[in-house]
Amino acid sequence: MTIKTDEFRTSLIDHLISPAQLARDIPMTDDIAEFIIQSRKDIEKIISGEDKRLLVVIGPCSIHDPEAALDYAQKLKVFQEQYKDELYIVMRVYFEKPRTTVGWKGLISDPDLDKSFNVEKGLHLARDLLVKINAMGLPAATEFLDMVTGQYISDLISWGAIGARTTESQVHRELASALSCPVGFKNGTDGNVKIAIDAIHASRVPHVLYSPDKTGQMCIYRTAGNPFAHVILRGGKEPNYAQEHVTHACQQLDNAKLTPSIMVDCSHGNSEKNHAKQINVSLDLAEQIKGGSTNIFGVMIESFLVEGNQKVVDVNDLIYGQSITDACVNLQQSEEILNILQDAIKAR
């Protein structure tokens, strides 16, 4: 069939492997499946307040080097054991980056970091890494940005985020209503928390979602609604992690007849893009927790092997274990933050 009026601005790059074929290439074991189901339940209990530990979503801003990510996961596994009575650690394993304007959009989109867009390779690397991290006994967190690629990896995710740039998007709210894991909605980049509260309302109820199924066939799904959607305060024009902001957000949730409990992102607008300030943010959160607050059920931290970030000038000349997107704290600084948070939970 010839369509004369369409595809003026596209050219076909390639056909893509189906999610089912990718899962056959990189399967998960029954043990991993059980681990993920249990991790999601554990996180749900923390969100609902039944489990008093603090959920800590920590890891690189983005994954660009699976080897370094696995190296980081091994180090995080030690922390997981060390802090397990007070902190429930989930690794940030982010493969898709929303850009303010343009830039590298993540490992799935461009795994070779050279605009060659070998998406099939990116999907294989992403799924393989998630299987390995889960097999280590570390639950994985990711941002769901693309409406299609989630079908390739969502079975391996224990906690999901909808980012500040997409919280107000109807299709992302519909996607959250379909996801099998708990989902956090960031406040907008300008600091608007109401859009995240609206997103919780929207994603709690059933929707009709158009999506490929695991074979790649386009389908119409009825979604069940996600009962574990929540707000993430990430700052905006100004930081919004202080007690007054947390109280205000919780009042807004309460007025909207939603559970007044939130996650705070120590990075992004809250660190004013200065990674080291994540320590100050966690100190403030620790004071709130020590003061008896149960409003904060979770925190997010951007952390990697090496402090800071780097620009990709030559892909063969990158500093191992350092972010190529937002700057991160290193392992020593991460341990400092985890100690601060552990002490706060103990004191409460």
Ligand X SMILES: O=C[C@H](O)[C@H](O)COP(=O)(O)O
Ligand Y SMILES: C=C(OP(=O)(O)O)C(=O)O
Nearer of residues 284 and 326 to ligand X, judged by Cβ: 326
**DSSP-assigned letter for residue 146:** S
Residues forming a β-bridge with 221: 209
Whether the CB-CB separation of 294 and 321 falls below 8 Å is answered with no
Residue 311 interacts with ligand X (CB under 6 A)?
no
Q: Choose the contact partner of 40 out of ligand X, ligand Y, none; CB within 5 to 8 A by kind.
A: none
Part in contact with ligand X (CB under 6 A); list of ranges 22-30, 91-99, 120-128, 170-178: 91-99
Whether the CB-CB separation of 123 and 108 falls below 8 Å is answered with yes
Residues forming a β-bridge with 185: 162, 231
Count the neighbouring beta carbons within 10 Å of the beta carbon of residue 193.
24
Which of 2, 100, 217, 316 is the binder for ligand X (CB under 6 A)? 100
Helix, coil or strand: residue 31: helix
Residue 64 interacts with ligand Y (CB under 6 A)?
no
Nearer of residues 305 and 327 to ligand X, judged by Cβ: 327
Which of 22, 46, 54, 61 is the binder for ligand X (CB under 6 A)? 61
Part in contact with ligand Y (CB under 6 A); list of ranges 109-117, 161-169, 252-260, 291-299: 161-169
Residue recorded with tokens 């894991």: 181
Residue 110 interacts with ligand X (CB under 6 A)?
no
Whether the CB-CB separation of 163 and 186 falls below 8 Å is answered with yes
Binders of ligand Y among 4-63, rule CB under 6 A? Answer: 61
Which of 155, 174, 307, 326 is the binder for ligand X (CB under 6 A)? 326
- Angle, nearest 10°, between helix axes 30-48 and 119-135? 80
**DSSP-assigned letter for residue 9:** S
Residue 325 interacts with ligand X (CB under 6 A)?
yes
Whether the CB-CB separation of 279 and 329 falls below 8 Å is answered with yes
What amino acid is encoded at 236 in this protein? G
Binders of ligand Y among 71-130, rule CB under 6 A? Answer: 94, 98
Which of 234, 250, 286, 329 is the binder for ligand Y (CB under 6 A)? 234
- Angle, nearest 10°, between helix axes 194-204 and 170-178? 50
Each residue 194-233 as x (binds ligand Y by CB under 6 A) or -, in order, gives ----------------------------------------
Residues that bind ligand Y (CB under 6 A): 61, 94, 98, 143, 163-165, 186, 234, 268
Residues near ligand X (CB under 6 A): 61, 97-100, 103, 268, 325-326
